[in-house]
């Protein structure tokens, strides 16, 4: 099993490497404008994207430093050493005051941009939490409460962002409003199913197809109890986001530097080189983590019955409806449910992890990225007096895998193309 785990970790590294800003960003960086270049980076890859952009314009293009301004904001622990741009580390998934400062500075810089300048927005998953600018009448504490309620509800990332966009002065196209009439060029690393520009980082520079009515429907669907100020904001037409066709987007461009599909493709190539047939389930899977795990375990058992030697690969973003008091994220919960469903199956191993290097957790950079399991995981646990079903019921996948030594600890990867899951089915 050591060999299978080593290969699984190689597949994960291949997926992450395919989305590194140093590789995928330079070919897409725009030429210098006549005026200033204002760089605004946000999200888990923001530090690495800003670092790459600095090297491109200063070292390779020899642009005068005085013509470049801006800042980058990333999750705590995801900062990079920048020479010219300011680096801010902020809270994720629950925002903190550093995120307030970062958003305020970003909006101020966008407001300063003139018609001869270019606002270059480097966007990645996590920007929704890192750029916090509550709509009028909403306190910072209320915004934090909304975020916590949405995370625990089991809502999809698209639904979460629909609500957040209508409670913000920077999300849902509003950053582009502040930059107008300056042109805006956005380059993003996608972490959302379908690579929808309006969903990545809550779409601060693109038209928003969702509405206040959509946001209110999500609140009802998940029976969320929200502060009164938030309920009022979601009923106030002034908080509607700019829509397709709005003139503020006339000079706004959007490009993707890396996608979940790119990461899966790189991992699949390595799996094939190791002699496995690849079963690609898609880069946009959604659903309750434990339910998806059961379906994937059935597929693995079917492949075993057919005598196949296969690698089952998938991406996307699963969800967890939190009912217990434990620790963990969707990848760890998936892995725990998968271990239960694969119990007793020989020559099978799996890895589930977030490509940003942290899965759930407390918001610390040293939170687990995910976990690894085999068909013997449950047996090993029971030998130590651990009941996997009890841990799953308590949403305590971190506690379970920590006791077994099966957590995947990678630290920050400085990119983010969402979840990565791989199941290796070998011949016993």
Give the Å distances, CA to CA, from 141 to 132, 361, 387: 11, 20, 38
CA angle 250, 248, 194 (to 5 degrees): 75
What is the structure's pLDDT at 57?
98
Number of DSSP helices (H) and strands (E) in the chain, helices first: 16, 12
Parallel/antiparallel/unpaired status of strands 370-374 and 407-408: antiparallel
156 vs 131, more confident: 131
The answer, yes or no, to whether residue 347 has pLDDT greater than 80, is yes
What is the structure's pLDDT at 145?
92
For residue range 202-235, what is the model confidence (pLDDT) as tens digits? Answer: 999 999 999 999 999 999 999 999 999 999 999 9
Bridge partners (DSSP) of residue 74 are: 89
What is the structure's pLDDT at 365?
85
Which ranges of 349-415 would DSSP assign to H, the alpha helix?
Answer: 377-383, 388-393, 397-404
What is the structure's pLDDT at 236?
97
Give 3-state DSSP helix, strand, coil % of the chain, rounded to 5: 45, 20, 40
Integer Cα distance of 183 and 162 in angstroms: 25
In order of their start, the domains of the chain are 2-13+261-425 (3.40.1480.10), 22-133+168-207+242-258 (3.40.50.10180)
Integer Cα distance of 215 and 240 in angstroms: 10
What is the structure's pLDDT at 94?
87
Instruction: Say which range, 39-43, 69-73, 90-94, has the weakest mean pLDDT.
Output: 90-94
Query: Across all residues in the chain, what is the average pLDDT?
Result: 96
Rg (CA), the chain: 22
pTM summary value: 0.93
Output the six-digit token pair for 135. 């709509």
């Amino acid at each position: 099993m050591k060999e299978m785990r080593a290969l699984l970790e190689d597949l994960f590294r291949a997926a992450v490497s395919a989305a590194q800003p140093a590789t995928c960003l330079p070919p897409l960086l725009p030429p210098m404008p006549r005026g200033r270049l204002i760089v605004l980076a946000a999200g888990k890859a923001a530090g690495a994207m800003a670092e790459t952009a600095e090297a491109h314009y200063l070292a390779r293009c020899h642009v005068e430093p005085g013509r470049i301004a801006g800042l980058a904001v990333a999750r705590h622990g995801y900062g990079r050493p920048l020479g010219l741009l300011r680096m801010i580390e902020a809270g994720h998934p629950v925002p903190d005051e550093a995120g307030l400062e970062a958003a305020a500075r970003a909006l101020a810089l966008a407001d300063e941009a003139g018609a001869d300048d270019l606002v270059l927005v480097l966007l990645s998953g996590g920007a929704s939490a890192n750029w916090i600018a509550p709509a009028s009448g909403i306190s910072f504490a209320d915004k934090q409460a909304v975020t916590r309620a949405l995370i625990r509800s089991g809502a999809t990332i698209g639904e979460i962002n629909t609500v957040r966009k209508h409670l913000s002065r920077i999300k849902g196209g509003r950053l582009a409003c502040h930059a107008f009439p300056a042109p805006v060029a956005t380059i993003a690393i996608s972490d959302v199913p379908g690579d929808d520009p309006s969903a990545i980082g809550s779409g601060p520079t693109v038209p928003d197809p969702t509405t206040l009515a959509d946001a209110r429907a999500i609140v009802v669907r998940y029976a969320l109890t929200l502060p009164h100020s938030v309920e009022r904001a979601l009923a106030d037409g002034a908080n509607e986001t700019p829509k397709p066709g709005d003139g503020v987007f006339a000079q706004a461009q959007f490009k993707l530097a890396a996608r979940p599909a790119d990461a899966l493709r790189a991992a699949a190539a390595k799996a094939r080189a190791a002699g496995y047939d690849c079963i690609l389930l898609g880069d946009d899977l959604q659903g309750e983590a434990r339910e998806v795990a059961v379906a994937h375990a059935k597929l693995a058992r079917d492949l075993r019955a057919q005598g196949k030697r296969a690698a089952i690969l998938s991406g996307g973003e699963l969800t967890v409806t939190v009912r217990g008091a434990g620790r963990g994220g969707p990848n760890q919960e998936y892995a725990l449910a998968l271990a239960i469903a694969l119990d007793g199956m020989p020559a099978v191993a799996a890895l589930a992890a977030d490509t940003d290097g942290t899965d759930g957790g407390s918001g610390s950079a040293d939170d687990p990225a995910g976990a690894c399991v085999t068909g013997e995981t449950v047996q090993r646990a029971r030998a130590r007096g651990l009941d996997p079903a009890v841990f799953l019921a308590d949403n305590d996948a971190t506690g379970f895998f920590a006791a077994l030594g099966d957590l995947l600890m990678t630290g920050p990867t400085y990119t983010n193309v969402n979840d990565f899951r791989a199941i290796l089915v070998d011949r016993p």
